[in-house]
Structure 1
Amino acid sequence: MQSNTDVSTDATSQAVDATPRRKTKIVCTIGPSTNTREMIWKLAETGMNVARMNMSHGDHQSHQKVIDLVKEYNAQNTDGNTVAIMLDTKGPEVRSGDLPEPIMLAEGQEFNFTIKRGVSTEDTVSVNYDDFISDVEAGDILLVDGGMMSLAVKSKTADTVKCVVVDGGELKSRRHLNVRGKSATLPSITEKDWEDIKFGVENGVDFYAVSFVKDAKVIHELKAYLKSANADIHVIPKIESADSIPNLQSIIAASDGAMVARGDLGAELPIEEVPLLQEEIIRTCRSMQKPVIVATNMLESMIDHPTPTRAEVSDIAIAVREAADAIMLSGETAHGKYPLKAVKVMHTVALRTESSLYDPTKAPSLVARPKALLNDDFCKSQLSKMFGSHATMMANTLRTPIIVFTRVGSMAVLLSHYRPSSTIYAFTNEVRVKQRLALYQGVVPILMEFSDDAEETFSRAITSLLDAKYMNEGDYVTLVQSGSQSIWREESTHHIQVRKVQC
């Protein structure tokens, strides 16, 4: 490691950032409330880092419009506020059939589900899944709409499941059905999903969020397809199936991150398990240095109301304190009445929570301690981890932001894993790397061509940060460089400098 000798003691007096930045990223689902150019621009300016397209709704034409608008925003925006694109597959959903009008279900009432198509009577409705009969047993609890209503299975025939209503309510058309503690035997990637995945390849999206992943096999299958299509798209499994929990380690190991999809997870498993599973999934992703998104119901009340409940505010703060990379809005921004206010609430709550976690005057609880390399052969990956840990501690001690130059993104990802107190400004000359880094906690990705002259590259990076008012002249920065294609040397190198910002 190298360090610049012009570091002076007044470096520790500067603020962590010229302007504090939110480190936890925000994923916004785009829908009828937000699918215009004006709204996408406003969402990005308010705090959106990832635009999510839910393929359960809309068609390719409407999603194409959103993709084009996000790409237009990224092309025109030069201040480092990159918006990544996530395509969320519909997955193997079991739904009730169409109804001419809603049916009121009362506690104790007998009600049936049949695999016969087109049935809609006051006590029987169709389901869209032929194996529903074989998946359900007497004594099972059916949850409708994620638990808004529940029915106990009493018996079944060759084509009908007979139930009694436990918790009643208004049954509408095409409601989602879960069996508590069980997952449907449908494939994780359906024929519709494959068409949507191909659509994503054609449009160069950045992430796939894959619904109802049960094991690592489906991840390997999708990655093999992407490799054959020469598509550089990362795969984020949605952990929402009861069957996925025993396979959690292997699923995340095969993937590029994970999403805690709490809606269906809480329907298939007892709801009291969800907070513990959320913590476990976040911890597992962090141990593998992969991004994790916490999703579902974070500001559900803001679909219809301009202010959140206090419990929702606490929910956001807990996800931030548990060190999630990103938190997600679904119906709040897709079809809610107050999409911009919802993003603003998420932004301000995350920022305020982070201010209590990343106080550089205290020992940051989220910064991993360097580990002794005992009983292991010394290797490049271990050197990179040690280097990332020391770079983080140096930046925290001197209270400086970090600048990293990266061609593939690995050092920026590693630094994000160590959760430095200040912002990581990741300069890259690859558009795909810039887009992908938009999901990682604390990283501001900036696209810039690298010069053959390392000092010129550094000077241009500093100028861009000054122009964007991300820092001020006279501040200090921790400059991190690592990898086989370093801008500073031809050969592989690990390199730290602390420099004073000068025009």
Structure 2
Amino acid sequence: MAQVVATTRSIHSSILSSPSSGSLQDRVDKLLKPSTFSSKFLSSHDKKKIISSVSSHRNTHIVAAAVKRSAEPEVIPVSPEDVPKREEQFVQLEQLGDTTAAVGMWTKPTVRRKTKIVCTIGPSTNTKEMIWKLAEAGMNVARMNMSHGDHASHQKVIDLVKEYNAQAKDNVIAIMLDTKGPEVRSGDLPQPIMLSPGQEFTFTIRRGVGTSDCVSVNYDDFVSDVEAGDMLLVDGGMMSLLVKSKTEDSVKCEVVDGGELKSRRHLNVRGKSATLPSITDKDWDDIKFGVENKVDFYAVSFVKDAQVVHELKNYLKSCGADIHVIVKIESADSIPNLHSIITASDGAMVARGDLGAELPIEEVPLLQEEIIRLCRSMGKAVIVATNMLESMIVHPTPTRAEVSDIAIAVREGADAVMLSGETAHGKFPLKAVKVMHTVSLRTEATIAGGEMPSNLGQAFKNHTSEMFAYHATMMSNTLGTSIVVFTRTGFMSILLSHYRPSGTVFAFTNEKRIQQRLALYQGVCPIYMQFSDDAEETFANALSVLKNQGMVKEGEEVALVQSGRQPIWRFQSTHNIQVRKV
């Protein structure tokens, strides 16, 4: 079986080397660090030939250890569980007495996962213990789904996340509030109803109806919105009914795909969106709740046009609230207005559940790719959501298709991938996060650094910072360094993130709000630190923090960027990039 030699440039840990190894060590490094991805997949036979070229110079037991070590595919996620294992391996190597046994293996990793993970908090995870464990397993953003729970339960979660942020030294969790939106749902039933293909079933706008052949709908214009021949989907397509006829207050259907109908199920009409406002009265109450709690992001459901975004942003401005707006692309009406909607927003979420219900399901992967491309080109955050690890709600391991789904989202350039029911009410929330973490990290290791859309930065084309972000990225990629940036607004950090440098962007800020917000952006490691009036003192403090927390090593070079909208320790017209040794 082909073995993976995971030595990609996106991982900045160096291979262990011995000063006495000389040119022989260099030859082995050259053999084991190929320049192309395809050449990283070596057969076992090829590996044995490589090792055998060293055997005449090394003791037999050392070479045997090297063969054993190189035969194991190494993927190194950075999580508390993994670090002790790596330290044990180095103790074993020291006992062997020769670092050549570590050929093809990284030192204790300093690489971080770049793609961020959004976790929905629900009954399975709304305790202090679970939120702490989720954060340590890899959660970057805690999402509250306002379709479920009440303000009291969400207040508890927000308080717990803020408590975690207050005590965490090298990690921070952003808070996202996801509005319910104008959802059309069936009414309450005394008990679930089994629907069989060919059976007749009726939906009515009369309140309080719940029988074996008729149920209420919470939307008064439901009858006028549907026509005979429309396909009605329950729970995103878990069941489907064909509209046969309608009366003044009812819609009569024939069951096409049956199943168990429960209370308050979500209803869609294929190819149509409900003629409801994107922000309902309940949503406005939830938005006010978010303003009071100073959440970081709103995810707005069923956005159909840019006017909705402008309306919300104007309201937030009037409240003096600094909250970013993420639009959820999930309705058929939003697709023709995609460009203007994303332009007005701070980012987008590819909400594939309702999108796949309102549009032909084969369109969803194409739309996902297009939305990611559009967001990347406009410098906006983009999240891929829904069904990413759906099977892990009840099973401890994912399907292979789900693993590929995460990998595709990462390769397409998403800032974040999202877990919904998997962490909200699933049986294995921590395992789901760990799978997302390891798959993202492994996929990132195969992506060539420095790739970017040709039209990236159109949104910033009038600002000098764009040029500096581009050149800082090129310099970082060429030298193989991380980037250090100091920011009060987050602008420069976000711009650097969208250029996708191969190294980590360490974003130092003296604003806690900005630190939390930057937790969503790909490749950005936000760090809170008070700035000194003296630039050199602040630079030294920042490099000391990175070194003490093991994020960079002594002697390593970093690219230090001074640019952005608000000058810090520089004149308005002066921008610079420095390369400094830690």
**More deviation in 256-265 or 380-389?**
380-389
How far the C-alpha of 1:367 sits from its partner, in A, is 3.2
Does structure 1 conserve the Cα–Cα contact (< 8 Å) formed by 2:177 and 2:298? yes
In structure 2, which of residues 548, 551, 556 is the aligned counterpart of residue 475 of structure 1? Answer: 556
| In 1, Cα distance between equivalents of 2:304 and 2:565 | 37
Partner of 1:175: 265
Opposite residue 138 of structure 2, the aligned amino acid is G
Q: Do residues 56 (structure 1) and 147 (structure 2) align? A: yes
Tell me the equivalent position of 1:158.
Answer: 248
Structure 2 letter corresponding to 1:147: G
Given the superposition, is the C-alpha separation of residues 371 and 426 from structure 1 closer, same or farther in structure 2, using an over 3 Å criterion? closer
Q: Does 1:207 align with 2:207?
A: no
Relative to structure 2, which stretch is displaced further, 92-101 or 141-150? Answer: 92-101
Residue aligning to 2:358: 268
Does the CA-based 8 Å contact 2:469-2:492 persist in structure 1?
yes
Out of 227, 244, 265, the residue aligned to residue 317 of structure 2 is: 227
> What letter corresponds to residue 339 of structure 2 in structure 1?
Q
Q: Aligned-pair distance for 1:484?
A: 5.2
Cα-to-partner distance string for 1:295-317 (whole Å, 9 max, x where unaligned) = 00000000000000000000000
Equivalent position to 1:68, from 154, 159, 180:
159
Q: In 2 relative to 1, CA 356–499 (structure 1 residues): closer, same or farther, beyond 3 Å?
A: same
CA drift at 1:418: 0.6
Give the deviation of 1:488 after TM superposition.
3.5
Structure 1, gaps ≥5 residues long: 1-11, 374-378
Q: Which aligned pairs between 1:71-82 and structure 2 lie closer than 5 A?
A: 71-79=162-170, 81-82=171-172
1:256 is aligned, of 321, 343, 346, to 346
Does the aligned pair in 2 maintain the 1:142–1:180 contact within 8 Å? yes
What aligned pairs does 1:390-429 form with structure 2 within 5 A after superposition?
390-429=471-510
- Does the CA contact (< 8 Å) of 2:325 and 2:347 recur in 1? yes
Q: Please list the CA deviations of residues 403-443 of structure 1 after superposition, one character each: whole Å capped at 9, or x if unmatched.
A: 01111111111110110001000001112211111110000
> By how many angstroms is 1:486 displaced?
3.2
2:565 and 2:220 mapped to 1: Cα distance? Answer: 54
Choose from 287, 296, 318 the match for 2:408. Answer: 318
Query: What is the DSSP-based 3-state SS (H/G/I as helix, E as strand, rest coil) of the residue aligned with 2:188?
Result: coil
Indicate the residue corresponding to 1:440 in structure 2.
521
Give the corresponding residue for 2:194.
104
Q: Aligned-pair distance for 1:33? A: 0.6
Residue 242 of structure 1 corresponds to 332
Q: TM-score, normalised by structure 1?
A: 0.92
- Matched residues in 2 for 1:371 and 1:63: separation? 37
What is residue 4 of structure 1 aligned with on the other side? none
Alpha-carbon distance in structure 2 between the residues aligned to 1:395 and 1:476: 9
2:576 pairs with 1:495: yes
Q: Distance in 2 between matches of 1:170 and 1:21?
A: 44
Return the structure number with greater relative CO, CA threshold 8 A, min gap 6.
1
Per the TM alignment, residue 368 of structure 1 is displaced from its structure 2 partner at its CA by: 4.7
**Match of residue 93 from structure 2:** none
Q: Say if 2:386 is the partner of 1:296.
A: yes
Q: Is the 8 A contact 2:232 2:240 kept in 1?
A: yes
| Other structure's SS at 2:169 match | coil
Q: How far did residue 172 of structure 1 move?
A: 0.8
C-alpha distance 68-371 of structure 1, shift in aligned 2 (>3 A):
closer
TM-aligned CA distance change 1:98 to 1:20, over 3 Å: same
User: Match for residue 452 of structure 1?
Assistant: 533
* 1:193 is aligned to 2:283: yes
CA RMSD of aligned residues (A): 1.9
Kept in 2: contact 1:407–1:429 (CA 8 A):
yes
**Offset from partner CA, 1:363-391 (integer Å, 9 cap, x none):** x4x33569999xxxxx9835322221111
Separation in structure 2 between the aligned mates of residue 116 and residue 487 of structure 1, nearest angstrom:
62
Cα contact 2:411–2:444 (8 A) shared by 1: yes
* Matching residue of 1:46: 137
Q: Which moved more, 1:195-204 or 1:111-120?
A: 111-120
Match of 2:452 among 364, 367, 381: 367
Retained in 1: the 8 A contact 2:511–2:528? Answer: yes
8 Å CA contact 1:14–1:475 kept in 2: the answer is no
| Whole-angstrom distance in 2 between the partners of 1:372 and 1:298 | 29
C-alpha distance in 1 between matches for 2:576 and 2:189: 65
> Is this contact kept in 2: 1:107–1:165, CA < 8 A?
yes
**Unmatched 5+ stretches in structure 2:** 1-11, 16-105
Whole-Å separation in 2 of the counterparts to 1:86 and 1:270: 29
Q: 1:121: how far off?
A: 1.9
Contact 1:484 1:493 in 2 (8 A): no
* Alpha-carbon distance between aligned partners in 2 of 1:484 and 1:198, rounded to the nearest angstrom: 29
User: Structure 2 vs 1, CA of residues 93 and 454 (structure 1 numbering), >3 Å: closer, same or farther?
Assistant: same
| SS of structure 2 residue aligned to 1:483 | coil
Structure 1 pair 287–369 and aligned structure 2 pair: CA distance change class (3 A): closer
**Which residue does 1:389 correspond to in 2?**
470
Q: Cα gap change, 1:369/1:110 in structure 2, threshold over 3 Å: closer, same or farther?
A: closer
Amino acid at match of 1:285: C
Shift of the alpha carbon at 1:487?
3.2
Distance across 2 between alignment mates of 1:308 and 1:14: 32
**2:147 is aligned with what amino acid?**
S
Q: 1:491 to 1:327 in 2, by over 3 A?
A: same
- Verify: 1:463 aligned to 2:544, yes or no: yes
Distance 1:151 1:484 in 2: 54
Instruction: Tell me which residue corresponds to 1:128.
Output: 218
Shift of 1:186: 1.1
- Is residue 278 from structure 1 mapped to residue 386 from structure 2 by the alignment? no
Q: Which amino acid aligns with 1:489?
A: R
Q: Distance in 2 between matches of 1:371 and 1:419?
A: 11
The SS at the match of 2:563 is: strand
Q: Report the Cα distance in structure 2 between the residues aligned to 1:246 and 1:384, rounded to whole angstroms.
A: 32
Q: Do the aligned partners of residues 370 and 261 (structure 1) sit closer, same or farther apart at CA in structure 2, a change above 3 Å counting?
A: closer
Q: CA offset at residue 119 of structure 1?
A: 1.3
Whether contact under 8 Å (1:257, 1:290) holds in the other structure is: yes
Seen in structure 2, the aligned counterparts of structure 1 residues 419 and 158 have a Cα distance that, compared at 3 Å, is same
Q: Deviations over 1:324-362 (max 9, x none)?
A: 00000000000100000000000000000000004x5xx
Cα 1:370–1:207 shift into 2, 3 Å: closer
